[in-house]
Structure 1
Amino acid sequence: MRVVPVPLWLCAALVLVPSCAWEGQDGDESGRPPAAPVGVTAAAGSATSVHVMWNAVSSEEGVHRYEVYRGTTKIEAVPGSQHMVDVTRLRPSTPYVFTVRARDTEGRLGPPSREVRATTPAVSVADRSAPSRPGKLQGRAAGSRAVQLFWSASTDDRDVVSYDIYQGGIKIHSVGGNQTAAVVTGLRPGTRYAFTVRARDAADNLSSAGATVHLTTPGSDDGHDTAPTDFRATTRLDGDGAYYLDLAWVPPRADGVVTEYQVHLDGAAATSLVFGGTPPRGRTTYSFYLGHETGESHRVRIRARLPDGTWGGLSAERRVTTGAAAAP
């Protein structure tokens, strides 16, 4: 998922990266490290926070995580599926400089991005009034993988510092308080999305959400390419006399790391699992409790929540019966 303020999007500069290995890189020195992230921007989100964002980096081994630096100090590390971060606990009325670096799954650290600067605004201690909610949110598809959003400005007794953009109730990005438009990229063709916008002032007061705009990207996506593959399901009898369902699958290919899955049992969502820390990139396994009854049959499938916030396609369906021998 990638959101770009329109004015910056139209004039983003390219960063040229040498083809040789980056001098002083960490981790494995063999092979080629990831390139420097491009499209990096920074915008104050409040008097004590700055929102930093960047484009996804392609890497031969895959990007394991992104590292965000304030000056020369590493302050944040986020999974490879994430292309933005809110840097908090900053000082009001202070200029800051940020860079971003990518680290691949072999531990190689790429060169830093270009420097981006942001200055936090002053804070008013007595400010307890939230901005008015943004109005007249509109949007349109901009190709099969992007949309443009437009809204009318909020008002505040001080100043609106930023606008937070939400997709399906989840904050996906922020733009500056002087922006009333954004381009959201990294979407899926033929997919319906729901966007809302909220305004924030320097004291971190957040407005209520404006109206929701529903947009569908053109094209088709049957979900086949976004479904987990090589899906297997078996039952086993544990020592306590209870049956468990053992699942194994290969994560779908996605622009980033998949951290959440949903298991469907007999046609309905039965449980969700979220991987913390470093989610598995290769074959993944999971088990959950079924009960004590022998001879119960179940149909099971699984799907992944993709980096754009939507659910991918369901895997092939498997049938299992408690107490029965595993199918060859």
Structure 2
Amino acid sequence: MSRKRIALACAAVVVGAASVAVPVAANAGEDGGLGATCRITEQSTAWWASAEISVANKGDRPVRDWTARFELSQGQATIDNPWAYELRQDGKRVTVKPIADRADVAAGATRAVKVGINPAGKAIPKISGCKATGPDSGSGNGTGTDARVPADSGSFVKDHAAVHLMWKPPAGAADTDRYEVFQNGKRLKTVTGTMTDIEKLAPGTRYTFKVRTLRADGSTSGFSKDIVLTTHAAPGQDAAKPVIPADLEATASGPYQATLRWHPATDDVAVTGYRIYRNGTRVQEADAKADTATVSGLTPSTAYRFKVTAVDASGKESEPTREAGVTTAPAPGGGTGGGTGTGAPGDFTATTSTKQDGPVTQHYLNLAWSVPRNLGQITTYQVYLNGKPAQTFMWGTATPVLPVPTTKGTREVLVGSHPGTTYTVKIRARLGDGTWGAFSRELTVKTGG
């Protein structure tokens, strides 16, 4: 079957001194029940902008594997949810893909992806050439995945001569289905379960695997996405740790990011990647060819310490570089992301209301606030009543899962059945880097009589 196309309507809003909205790019369309929009959200500045990509599935089956692409006039793009999406930037070209099956688009649903853009004070960014493609399927020759083909589910390297492949069955799979496993394009085996070991491999060698469903009637599905694994070096072939990466430098890339640069490490066999630590905690990894990395989700006007290690094919980790310190820039305009303090919720209001619980009248505080901007995805807030923590709100964990607020948040707090009671109330947010932001302004409210 041919590759499906998702057309994206891509409109960017830029804000200058006079706050004039300027359209950057626009194109739209729909194919095979898939559609999408791409736009710049909130108020963009020369220090920070936010883009939102929304993929809509108007078909009758889930979409598992899709790719969104756009051209960025300048700056560095980052993803707000790196656990669910993979973002790659090659010059001005930016690609966003879901990781495994963590970002399926259900039938009749829309999935929004937030992308941060750091122009580092050079100019307000623009987006062009915005588009997306859906999965290949059906022919058995494609490398994409959708709901009708198996999906990788955490395959890993066991040692220098073996790997362990794991996959999820496609939608509608029957108990009688089997799976064909291919190694470097050649069929290797047929299995009945959804995992298998591949043994007698060469040490320190890169292999490409893929899986397809073999149905009881003899028909086959399309192939899974390629599963690429590199075996460890053989014992004795990789006796030494990698040499420490040299000359680590850290530079603030505006208020919310830092850019790290280092000289590549060496190893007696091969360096396979780098690990990046922030304030002593590992926060991300880079591939073997990298000599730079961008760490996002930071807080304005905050000091951070970074170090980097190298990892070789046998899993050995080098000693860390010397720590490189950096302090992020203040938020644009002297603010700190939407409130009166660093990461404080802004426009905080509190009113009272009542509800009947049988014969008892219960009193509530109705809270509303502006979500702190450009500090990563914020899913957790803490409410203080009369100076003490009273309740913690979390989005994205309940059933059904509620959408995480991105601009305005609201919640009600039950305070009891006593009328005429005065409370002081304030809230704070857990920011994208895991730290608590500053409190909102504190308000005084009184329940009704």
The TM-score with structure 2 as length reference comes to 0.42
**Contact 1:228-1:304 at 8 Å conserved across structures:** no
Distance 1:205-1:191 versus aligned 2 partners, 3 A rule: same
Gaps of 5+ in 1: 1-16, 41-50, 56-65, 98-116
User: What's 1:101 paired with?
Assistant: none
The correspondence of residues 148-163 of structure 1 with structure 2, limited to 5 A, is: 148-151=259-262, 153-154=264-265, 158-163=269-274
Partner of residue 367 from structure 2, selected from 243, 248, 258: 248
User: What's 2:427 paired with?
Assistant: 302
Instruction: Choose 1 or 2 for highest CA Rg.
Output: 2
Give the partner amino acid of 2:231.
A
Is the counterpart of residue 20 in structure 1 residue 28 in structure 2?
Answer: yes
Q: 1-side partners of 2:417 and 2:241: how far apart?
A: 54
**Contact 1:81-1:258 at 8 Å conserved across structures:** no
- Cα deviation for residue 325 of structure 1 reads 2.4
RMSD across aligned positions (CA): 5.2
Post-superposition Cα deviations, 1:114-171, rounded to whole Å, max 9, x if no partner, equal xxx9954322475798657656533123455543313455565643311122445565
User: What's 1:68 paired with?
Assistant: 98
Gaps of 5+ in 2: 1-24, 39-53, 56-66, 73-84, 90-95, 105-111, 117-152, 158-162, 164-205, 211-225
Distance 1:253-1:202 versus aligned 2 partners, 3 A rule: same
Distance 1:20-1:231 versus aligned 2 partners, 3 A rule: same
Give the partner amino acid of 1:137.
L
- Cα deviation for residue 245 of structure 1 reads 7.7
Is the counterpart of residue 80 in structure 1 residue 146 in structure 2?
Answer: no
The correspondence of residues 1-328 of structure 1 with structure 2, limited to 5 A, is: 19-26=27-34, 36-38=68-70, 52-54=86-88, 68=98, 75-77=101-103, 80-81=113-114, 88-90=154-156, 93-95=206-208, 120-124=229-233, 126=235, 134=245, 136-144=247-255, 146-151=257-262, 153-154=264-265, 158-168=269-279, 171-184=282-295, 189-206=300-317, 210-220=321-331, 221-223=334-336, 225=338, 226=343, 227-232=345-350, 246=365, 248-252=367-371, 254-255=373-374, 257-264=377-384, 272-277=392-397, 278=401, 279-281=403-405, 283-285=409-411, 287=413, 299-307=424-432, 311-319=436-444, 325-326=447-448
**Contact 2:330-2:336 at 8 Å conserved across structures:** no
- Cα deviation for residue 23 of structure 1 reads 1.6
The TM-score with structure 1 as length reference comes to 0.54
- Cα deviation for residue 176 of structure 1 reads 1.7
Distance 1:316-1:293 versus aligned 2 partners, 3 A rule: same
- Cα deviation for residue 81 of structure 1 reads 4.8
Give the partner amino acid of 1:19.
N
Post-superposition Cα deviations, 1:58-117, rounded to whole Å, max 9, x if no partner, equal xxxxxxxx7526xxxx6332983588xxx94256623489xxxxxxxxxxxxxxxxxxx9
**Contact 1:167-1:309 at 8 Å conserved across structures:** no
- Cα deviation for residue 193 of structure 1 reads 3.5
Aligned residues: 259
Q: 2-side partners of 1:203 and 1:82: how far apart?
A: 34
- Which structure has more RCO (C-alpha within 8 Å, separation ≥ 6)? 1
Distance 1:121-1:307 versus aligned 2 partners, 3 A rule: same
Post-superposition Cα deviations, 1:264-313, rounded to whole Å, max 9, x if no partner, equal 4555767654433554325432648x899999965432222344556545
Q: 1-side partners of 2:409 and 2:379: how far apart?
A: 13
Distance 1:212-1:264 versus aligned 2 partners, 3 A rule: farther
Give the partner amino acid of 1:23.
D
